[in-house]
Structure 1
């Protein structure tokens, strides 16, 4: 029996296989005679790329005619024919690649909170580029001039203005993160915040939203300084450590800044923490211990009884009527300018006599194939370019103490609704692009 057991164990047959001697490993190995089981393949949905996403900027004449007939916002009788945020969003949606588009993204772009968020981004980026050019000029003048105490006072004013405009962006961004107001249904844990967290889906939504906002801001600022806008927006939302655009371009623009430039453009609310404890500069602005007007955190949402000229300027830029921007002296890029001075793709007509700079791939002299340049040399060419819109002049903050009402305001501000017609048009177009066969029927 012992011999039979050994023979059966050493190469003998079993009902589902047999043993053999593995000469390489010098041990017994069991070989199954059953056919291999079919492995169920897990279908992982294709994720939208959020790195180097290229928007079309060379739309031919036929496409422009199709856009003007089917997707361009129609001006109703009695309305002023000016450029609105919706017009800029329409151009961005029309030129966006299909692989980053989704119905959720289109719906989110047509919210009152997102509209205020985009307008605050346009205002901040326009002022950031303006102050960056001014600081470049001042740093270049240090070679022949001496700094005085007045220089520090002026640069502190620039720094505080940038901090307040970043606060305008961060208040809307915080609302979107916590799922407040009309963004409740887009929260990653559901409208009631009781569902399991869809963190990956939420990250992809905000990545595509950020890339779309970069394109919208670039179009609203006259197609100039694309790389500067993209670098600064990614720094604000992700901090320097997780700035993927900077890791790709390797410009070292923050390292190459002079100390005075860094203090003004970055502000004094930047925190240096470990990677696990790092917060984005926008969140640092919210929790920063500095003197701010608390009413900035409620502009466009709460109706305040008293507002300073500075707050009125910010409110008009973020939540006011776009028809009143020019009459109020508020500069928001090309928003509020006459529609007749631009073509279908919102490029200025030759009769306007202005230059809008280079294309997105070569704006500001920075590209992934070029060597890193200093902060001053990168923006030196921009100071001589013709301006499409005037500079932003923010009113000074009040010298007296901030007014505190006896009770918190109870009446909300009137929310400016987005165009439901345009939202449906872009949803229908996306369905046609995703399902061309069913659309043809």
Structure 2
């Protein structure tokens, strides 16, 4: 059978040995196979341009193949919940082979990228939540008088979004400078002494960014894709270089009201000359505002006596996903039971869904009057709400005194699934080998 064409290449746990990992406190498999660096498949040869389309029409046969070979297998003590790894697995499985590379697969499975993805999901989830809320508030103001309390509420929304953007930006900065576990992916080498390979660097980050958009979309229940893609590209590339906006031509920023712009874009937006423009994500790090210094160490440095707000964020970004429900935190569908979703993480229909289909007409007309942002959220589309809203604890009014010495003890790294990483590398090697064989026959 064609499904079994790679069964003769050996099992996942062949040609290796098992060791006890003190950090993970578990047995880990170490491969004895020599590391073969194939420059031809290290990175795609061309910069990805235009829309990179992921397959969303996976048929039942392919789903069965995915479940049998590539879906994350549970250990006896593990709960059957959706994890970020599940979202990554589906994104890699449905991605075009042309954009995949060993460097990309490996980079998706390191602690820094794991925290980066979780922070990006959290940021996008709260952005969509606040965007919906602001759209409703602007509609209400057509018939109501604006009060000073409106400024207080909207300032809280804006502060929360600023802090969540900083949470993502700190990990992004680590990637850019090749710090921590991202050293070997830096375009100038781990020691930064090679000639700058800026094209290779651009290809890696372009594909990583598109992959992260897909992962965020899957983690947020497959909703508001355009809104997620537009905002992520604005954050990392600025409005000037937002290729998605140039393609879609939505003018969503220009259509925002002044109040929406202040909340959703933040106070750290800088307008420089085109070639010296910094991305909004970088502006968040160097913004002249009150930023809790402990935000920069979440998931990296072990800090004691964190305030409630930072504990909430730490539990999401660096805490075990199986504890989300008990701790009352929300990160999209992550932490929910996998039985509520099919193999591709599409929500299974319920009786309530059938009833809701009959009442969509009135909601679409109300959505059309919104501020101009692309409204495709669960509320706007009449979809069933899959997960709870984010309720970030308020920032402490009293300033905590600086400690006598800053903490330096590292926190245990965020766990990544090395078994899945090796699975995807093996699949990529097999697919690329098949492509080269086909090209040889045609030649």
The TM-score range, normalised by the shorter chain, is 0.7 to 0.9
Query: Which secondary structure does the structure 1 equivalent of 2:276 belong to?
Result: coil
In structure 2, which of residues 397, 400, 407 is the aligned counterpart of residue 399 of structure 1?
397
Query: Is the CA contact (8 Å cut-off) linking 1:118 and 1:213 kept in structure 2?
Result: yes
Query: Is the CA contact (8 Å cut-off) linking 2:44 and 2:203 kept in structure 1?
Result: no
Instruction: Quote the Cα distance in structure 2 between the aligned partners of 1:381 and 1:71.
Output: 30
Aligned to 1:379: 375
Instruction: Quote the Cα distance in structure 1 between the aligned partners of 2:80 and 2:193.
Output: 45
TM-score normalised by L of structure 1:
0.84
Aligned to 1:418: 416
User: Residue 432 of structure 1: CA displacement?
Assistant: 1.3
Aligned to 1:128: 127
Aligned to 1:226: 225
Aligned to 1:323: 322
Query: Is the CA contact (8 Å cut-off) linking 2:132 and 2:377 kept in structure 1?
Result: no
Instruction: Quote the Cα distance in structure 1 between the aligned partners of 2:301 and 2:277.
Output: 31
Give 1:32-431 correspondences, 5 Å limit. 46-351=45-350, 353=352, 375-376=371-372, 378-379=374-375, 382-384=378-380, 385=382, 386-431=384-429
Query: Is the CA contact (8 Å cut-off) linking 1:313 and 1:330 kept in structure 2?
Result: yes
Aligned to 1:8: none
Instruction: Quote the Cα distance in structure 2 between the aligned partners of 1:221 and 1:214.
Output: 11
Query: Which secondary structure does the structure 2 equivalent of 1:269 belong to?
Result: coil
Change (3 A) 1:165 1:251: same
Change (3 A) 1:45 1:57: closer
CA displacement, residues 294-341 of structure 1 (integer Å, 9 cap, x when unaligned): 100110001112101100111111111101111111100000001111
Instruction: Quote the Cα distance in structure 2 between the aligned partners of 1:419 and 1:308.
Output: 30
CA displacement, residues 97-140 of structure 1 (integer Å, 9 cap, x when unaligned): 11111111001001100000000000000000000000000011
Query: Is the CA contact (8 Å cut-off) linking 1:256 and 1:374 kept in structure 2?
Result: no
Stretches (4+) displaced over 3 A? 351-355, 372-378, 437-440
Instruction: Quote the Cα distance in structure 1 between the aligned partners of 2:351 and 2:307.
Output: 35
User: Residue 418 of structure 1: CA displacement?
Assistant: 1.0
Instruction: Quote the Cα distance in structure 1 between the aligned partners of 2:116 and 2:432.
Output: 28
User: Residue 413 of structure 1: CA displacement?
Assistant: 0.8
Change (3 A) 1:437 1:270: closer
User: Residue 46 of structure 1: CA displacement?
Assistant: 3.6
Instruction: Quote the Cα distance in structure 2 between the aligned partners of 1:438 and 1:273.
Output: 46
Larger Rg: 1
Query: Which secondary structure does the structure 1 equivalent of 2:390 belong to?
Result: coil
Instruction: Quote the Cα distance in structure 1 between the aligned partners of 2:332 and 2:229.
Output: 16
User: Residue 403 of structure 1: CA displacement?
Assistant: 3.5
User: Residue 379 of structure 1: CA displacement?
Assistant: 2.0
Query: Which secondary structure does the structure 2 equivalent of 1:89 belong to?
Result: helix
User: Residue 438 of structure 1: CA displacement?
Assistant: 8.3
Q: Structure 1 residues 374-383 or 221-230, which shifts more?
A: 374-383
User: Considering only aligned residues, what root-mean-square deviation do their CA atoms show, in Å?
Assistant: 2.3
Query: Is the CA contact (8 Å cut-off) linking 2:252 and 2:373 kept in structure 1?
Result: no
Change (3 A) 1:198 1:224: same
Instruction: Quote the Cα distance in structure 1 between the aligned partners of 2:379 and 2:275.
Output: 39
Q: Figure out how many residues of one structure are paired with residues of the other and give that number.
A: 385
Query: Is the CA contact (8 Å cut-off) linking 1:48 and 1:100 kept in structure 2?
Result: no
Gaps of 5+ in 2: 1-42, 358-362, 439-443
User: Residue 248 of structure 1: CA displacement?
Assistant: 0.4
Instruction: Quote the Cα distance in structure 1 between the aligned partners of 2:351 and 2:316.
Output: 24
Query: Is the CA contact (8 Å cut-off) linking 1:133 and 1:380 kept in structure 2?
Result: no
User: Residue 56 of structure 1: CA displacement?
Assistant: 0.5
Query: Is the CA contact (8 Å cut-off) linking 2:301 and 2:410 kept in structure 1?
Result: yes
Aligned to 2:430: 432
Query: Which secondary structure does the structure 2 equivalent of 1:375 belong to?
Result: coil
Change (3 A) 1:433 1:352: farther
Instruction: Quote the Cα distance in structure 2 between the aligned partners of 1:308 and 1:51.
Output: 44
Change (3 A) 1:139 1:45: closer
User: Residue 247 of structure 1: CA displacement?
Assistant: 0.4
Query: Is the CA contact (8 Å cut-off) linking 1:50 and 1:208 kept in structure 2?
Result: no
User: Residue 375 of structure 1: CA displacement?
Assistant: 3.3
Query: Which secondary structure does the structure 2 equivalent of 1:433 belong to?
Result: helix
Instruction: Quote the Cα distance in structure 1 between the aligned partners of 2:113 and 2:353.
Output: 30
User: Residue 417 of structure 1: CA displacement?
Assistant: 2.6
Gaps of 5+ in 1: 1-43, 359-363, 366-371
